[in-house]
């Protein structure tokens, strides 16, 4: 300890050319190559550490940005969906309050909450039931035309069998010629056929098919008259056929059903 203090005292008192200063310079010159080598060896590790740190920071930032973009995308989808539903409902209410809406019916506006389980079972579930006045065999429509028929009812929901289902059949008439027949499902879920049309009846491509809404005494069709069904897209017949073969494209887009109206018949005085 005393030796160290003595050396420090002598170092500070002697001139820059003294023995201790010379020894210091020699030591530094000897150690300098090792210092430079150590710097060169450690620099890549420091650079790699900095690069890795920046990389992980960038990944974290990217994850945050991706999360924000996904959240914005979901908000945009929900906003567009809500806007589309509002537009559909607005058009539906305009139809209900307009001159084309069938007499003797009130319209219960609702929406689809479950879609067809398969191509062979064309049914949807709607968010209206007996609590809303809906009953079995009530027709269901959009502003474009006929959708189907209520076949099962719960208090707050109902099942609707679509016009494209294999079990559906509707009495129909060709608007331009008065030719009558029965509309049934076609070869695919997006087509219909007009069956039982006599061969001598005039039916042309482009004609409009509507519900016939027949009435015989106290009996009447469950479908009111003049609900649009579809447009004739093909007409054929041959000598062995009893009836024309008529293909109809529905006016309703069954692939994108959203807002619907259930037609509930008005109760006449004295009826229950």
Alpha helix ranges (H) inside 97-175: none
Q: What is the CATH number of the domain that holds 123?
A: 2.40.10.340
Based on the fold, state whether residues 231 and 162 are members of the same structural domain: yes
pLDDT tens for each residue of the chain, 272 residues long: 544 444 444 444 555 555 544 555 544 454 455 454 455 545 555 555 565 666 666 666 777 777 777 776 666 556 555 566 677 778 888 888 888 898 889 999 999 999 877 777 899 999 999 999 999 999 999 999 999 999 999 999 999 999 999 999 999 999 999 999 999 998 887 789 999 999 999 999 999 999 998 777 777 889 999 999 999 999 998 878 889 999 999 999 998 898 999 999 987 544 44
Based on the fold, state whether residues 190 and 128 are members of the same structural domain: yes
Based on the fold, state whether residues 89 and 122 are members of the same structural domain: no
Domain count, the chain: 2
Based on the fold, state whether residues 82 and 131 are members of the same structural domain: no
Q: What pTM, to 2 d.p., does this model score? A: 0.68
Domain boundary residue, one of 79, 98, 117? 98
Domain boundary residue, one of 98, 123, 141? 98
Based on the fold, state whether residues 203 and 255 are members of the same structural domain: yes
Backbone phi and psi for residue 171, each to the nearest 5 degrees, phi listed first:
-70, 130
**Contact of 145 with 160, CB cutoff 8 Å:** no
Based on the fold, state whether residues 114 and 211 are members of the same structural domain: yes
Domain of 214, in residue numbers: 105-265
Q: Cβ–Cβ contacts within 10 Å for residue 110, how many?
A: 22
Based on the fold, state whether residues 246 and 112 are members of the same structural domain: yes
- Tokens describing residue 25: 């310079």
């Amino acid at each position: 300890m005393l030796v160290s203090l003595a050396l420090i005292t002598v170092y500070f008192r002697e001139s820059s050319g003294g023995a201790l200063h010379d020894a210091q310079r020699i030591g530094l010159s000897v150690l300098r190559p090792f210092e430079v080598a150590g710097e060169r060896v450690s620099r890549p590790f420091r650079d790699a550490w900095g690069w890795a740190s920046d990389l992980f920071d960038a990944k974290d930032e990217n994850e945050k940005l991706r999360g924000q973009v996904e959240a914005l995308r979901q908000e945009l989808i929900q906003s567009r969906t809500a806007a589309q539903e509002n537009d559909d409902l607005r058009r539906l209410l305009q139809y209900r309050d307009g001159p084309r809406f069938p007499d003797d019916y009130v319209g219960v506006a609702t929406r689809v909450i479950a879609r067809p389980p398969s191509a062979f079972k064309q049914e949807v579930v709607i968010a209206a039931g007996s609590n809303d006045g809906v009953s079995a065999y009530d027709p269901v429509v959009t502003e474009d035309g006929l959708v189907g028929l209520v076949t099962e009812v719960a208090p707050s929901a109902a099942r609707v069998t679509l016009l494209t289902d294999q079990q559906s059949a509707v009495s129909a008439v060709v608007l331009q010629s008065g030719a009558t027949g029965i509309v049934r499902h076609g070869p695919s879920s997006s087509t219909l056929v007009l069956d039982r049309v006599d061969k001598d009846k005039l039916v042309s491509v482009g004609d409009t098919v509507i519900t016939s809404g027949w009435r015989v005494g106290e009996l009447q069709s469950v479908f009111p008259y003049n609900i649009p069904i579809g447009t004739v897209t093909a007409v054929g017949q041959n000598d062995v056929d009893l009836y024309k073969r008529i293909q109809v494209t529905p006016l309703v887009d069954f692939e994108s059903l959203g807002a619907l109206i259930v037609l509930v018949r008005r109760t006449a005085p004295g009826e229950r």
